[in-house]
Structure 1
């Protein structure tokens, strides 16, 4: 069955959460009340790719109605308002502007009443959630790290939800500026939000008041941004997870963004969440689509799919499907163009649209037939990983003279791979009160420079949202007293970011990683059927094949000798039982999907 989302939805934007090419569940399964949360990957619609931050209540509910009518029966049930639903849409307001948000007396974000008129009178999203629930759907919102800069500047008091009044401890009332960590602002929205100090009772009280309010509005899904990937904030994730466990209302917890995420990093948060991004923003370019294949393979091999999560399971998230009517990244306007992906590229990104099946287990493997060989150049990239990763212990100090030292990635010290990647320690002379204050706070931490006299320091969390197109040895910006520029070198050879607690690592990647080759993936359904998908990531048509005997990898403990079935996109049958090879010509950037019964 083929579904063209852009033609099915002529008036409104549409795209889906994209979760490792997982099969849709039956309507009965998706509607039942599961004993555990996220027992299958959640699916639905999110406003970001179509409206950026400017979506209105009317536009949101219109899209929810379309989802309810068109795809709810196939298991798509979540509709999510993405970021800045609290920002006033007035001249001067944009993605990283300051001072245009609507906050309550406790410094909490509340919907902009002009764009969300039903929120007036302190109702928040209650009426919107009620309307979504009446459609048989579930309602979600986007949240940011910690607390807003606007609330900190306004010195709002913090709500103690146990008393209904201002939070007091140690004989005083606590305010936003007491808990906001200005040295840990969100790297890609520096004027917007900063971390909350969860070591303080007041910091915990603020986060508790946020998520209890969301539950009171009827929220079913929360996408928490600027807390994962390069922006990892494990303290906030951990405490929010604890709060969500205590709520009477079940809320799925999703983490974002996914810049530089590795399976080792994901293992630290998978038990605290239900979803976590493993890629940067996915837009409607073939490069973004192709880059996901290796990522999906790595997380499947690491057994992260359907692992234990927050009161249920957790799932790696490859971001949204940019289909239908879209806007542009950072835009201040709603949908104005169609997806640039052609139909073949769209179904390659989203091959599984049949209902009545969900995966029981899957193995990913490369096809055994490659008619052409594509040469790929390698580049060296500075990334972040879990400090438990043994490869993270790859740094050493190189003394140049008594006053000057470098920290170098030791793999290249012998020069076999060209010049080693080295950073210079910055020798800072304490001259101001600010430097005295931060020098004390960051004892043992370093600024690292690209050269001896450079004025730009290495950033741990570059100010970026789209990274699949970026290849660089490092990201540098003007030196400031900010946690994302502070590093600690340990004697075990690790270089630790003060911003996220992650470790720096140098790795080689292919300059066009994921953009060449053929792939074949297999999965099984509830009734024992086997799904075989071929993907051609090359610019030319090619034959892709799989041995029937290899399909047994989807059925542990069983053998496969013969298969019958059909290819979904073309509707063609295999014709007769096949016992050796399944092969087909697959067009450029296209896919083929077989549903097989095998013995």
Structure 2
């Protein structure tokens, strides 16, 4: 068999895919929006472990989340890229001699040397059961398309009458930065069946969340539609995240009718430039924030990152405390999904405090009508409302490099016509009564996040 040294075949595969005679009931069109009515919150292995994460590390992060974060709404534990490669490496990818683990139907399987519970063809079933036993949800990352080794070896596609992988692929638009897979030609016989076969397998494993990479730039509408169909027919509600950015704004209507969340930018790392770029990119996406469908600011590069990561050495985030407040304020008032990228067991008290502020997370969960009210070279203001309490939220940012600045608003901009009480949400500090205007003196790279109560 061609490329035998690069591929480990697992002949035992998911019982869900091959032993049940009853097809799952399809979900109604658009029902997937009910699966993430508030922005998903969880942990993703990429920022700290790159493509090398191992089962014991996933378990350690799940244990920490269950003990310290679950009560605050954090619930997803996501294994990021290349979990099916036995010999991947930190600081990039092994694209020289990767040893892939794949079954007889061209579907990647977890590498057992990294995920011991996947032995005997069990896939991620036992790891997902462990996460579920903690009261959490389990997720994985995949690349779009079909494995090159499946094409080269003409592996059959489950659910078809003799169609093989080499009959549904094209080399056009192959991912430029990771060349494991080929593009699937969406209208080829067998294309839908291939995506059905992997989603059915993931459903059998107990997957609750799937991040699919290389979908957004360029925007692969055909494959996105195949994926949506496959999830809707797999019998399990699996939240869909498309990655990476920049998702084109021209695809906004399509993506929000096919995915629960979509990346607006490439990877966000722990530098101020990444944050200020994100502020700019967010501007076009405010009108598209809606229950079940969320523009995604990317993972949160805080805490301890790059233990075996893609970018830089093992470190605590390079962002200053002020910059960390700014990043978390933007992510939460914008209602981005919150996927923490640092190694959770390595958190210090300050990092944990950023993830457990009840007022901030209530805003993130309940607010509506998010909009930017000003943005110039040095100042940004964003607001939203809580329809349940009548409270108004206001985020003020000093994005300048050197100058302390007074950053504020005329309260009429927030539809406030009488005096109001204002609270600093991060400091849990009542600031007093204000009328007509409100401003604060902010350091460079710092912000304030405020809850406003009053008659309007």
The alpha carbon displacement at 1:68 in A equals 1.6
Give the conservation status (yes or no) of the 8 Å contact 1:98–1:192. no
1:594 aligns with 2:455: no
Evaluate the alpha carbon distance shift between residue 274 and residue 95 of structure 1 in structure 2; reply closer, same or farther with a 3 A threshold: farther
1:519 aligns with 2:407: no
Alpha-carbon distance in structure 2 between the residues aligned to 1:35 and 1:317: 15
The alpha carbon displacement at 1:188 in A equals 2.0
Q: Which residue of 2 aligns with 1:287?
A: 273
Give the conservation status (yes or no) of the 8 Å contact 1:54–1:332. no
- Partner SS state of residue 574, structure 1: strand
Matches within 5 A, 1:362-401: 362-366=370-374
Q: Which residue of 2 aligns with 1:236?
A: 223
Q: Which residue of 1 aligns with 2:45?
A: 47
Alpha-carbon distance in structure 1 between the residues aligned to 2:454 and 2:293: 30
Higher Cα radius of gyration: 1
- The number of residues matched between the two structures is 392
- Computed over aligned residues only, the root mean square deviation of the Cα atoms, in angstroms, reads 2.3
Alpha-carbon distance in structure 2 between the residues aligned to 1:158 and 1:247: 16
Q: Which residue of 2 aligns with 1:430?
A: none
Alpha-carbon distance in structure 2 between the residues aligned to 1:34 and 1:201: 26
Task: Name structure 1 gaps, 5 residues minimum.
Answer: 1-32, 161-166, 308-312, 371-515, 553-558
Q: 1:216 aligns with which of 187, 204, 211?
A: 204
- Partner SS state of residue 183, structure 1: coil
Q: Which moved more, 1:345-354 or 1:119-128?
A: 345-354
- Partner SS state of residue 216, structure 1: helix
The alpha carbon displacement at 1:227 in A equals 1.2
Give the conservation status (yes or no) of the 8 Å contact 1:47–1:80. yes
Matches within 5 A, 1:48-67: 48-67=46-65
Q: Which residue of 2 aligns with 1:439?
A: none
The alpha carbon displacement at 1:42 in A equals 0.6
Alpha-carbon distance in structure 2 between the residues aligned to 1:91 and 1:317: 27
Q: 2:422 aligns with which of 546, 565, 569?
A: 565
Give the conservation status (yes or no) of the 8 Å contact 1:227–1:257. yes
Q: Which residue of 2 aligns with 1:200?
A: 188
The superposition leaves residues 94-130 of structure 1 with CA deviations (integer Å, 9 ceiling, x where unpaired) of 3544542111111110000010000001110001111
1:298 aligns with 2:284: yes
Q: Which residue of 2 aligns with 1:455?
A: none
Alpha-carbon distance in structure 2 between the residues aligned to 1:34 and 1:347: 32
Which structure features the higher share of helix residues?
2
The alpha carbon displacement at 1:80 in A equals 0.6
- Partner SS state of residue 110, structure 1: coil
Q: Which residue of 2 aligns with 1:529?
A: 391
Matches within 5 A, 1:103-252: 103-160=102-159, 167-168=160-161, 173-189=162-178, 191-230=179-218, 232-252=219-239
Alpha-carbon distance in structure 2 between the residues aligned to 1:320 and 1:551: 30
The alpha carbon displacement at 1:363 in A equals 2.1
Task: Name structure 2 gaps, 5 residues minimum.
Answer: 1-30, 333-356
The superposition leaves residues 560-582 of structure 1 with CA deviations (integer Å, 9 ceiling, x where unpaired) of 3221022133444322x211111
1:339 aligns with 2:317: yes
Alpha-carbon distance in structure 1 between the residues aligned to 2:409 and 2:96: 53
Q: Which residue of 1 aligns with 2:303?
A: 324
The alpha carbon displacement at 1:255 in A equals 0.6
The alpha carbon displacement at 1:523 in A equals 1.2
The alpha carbon displacement at 1:85 in A equals 0.5
Evaluate the alpha carbon distance shift between residue 586 and residue 96 of structure 1 in structure 2; reply closer, same or farther with a 3 A threshold: farther
Give the conservation status (yes or no) of the 8 Å contact 1:95–1:330. no
The superposition leaves residues 65-97 of structure 1 with CA deviations (integer Å, 9 ceiling, x where unpaired) of 111222211111111111100011268993544
Give the conservation status (yes or no) of the 8 Å contact 2:308–2:314. no
Q: Which residue of 2 aligns with 1:544?
A: 407
Alpha-carbon distance in structure 1 between the residues aligned to 2:51 and 2:39: 25
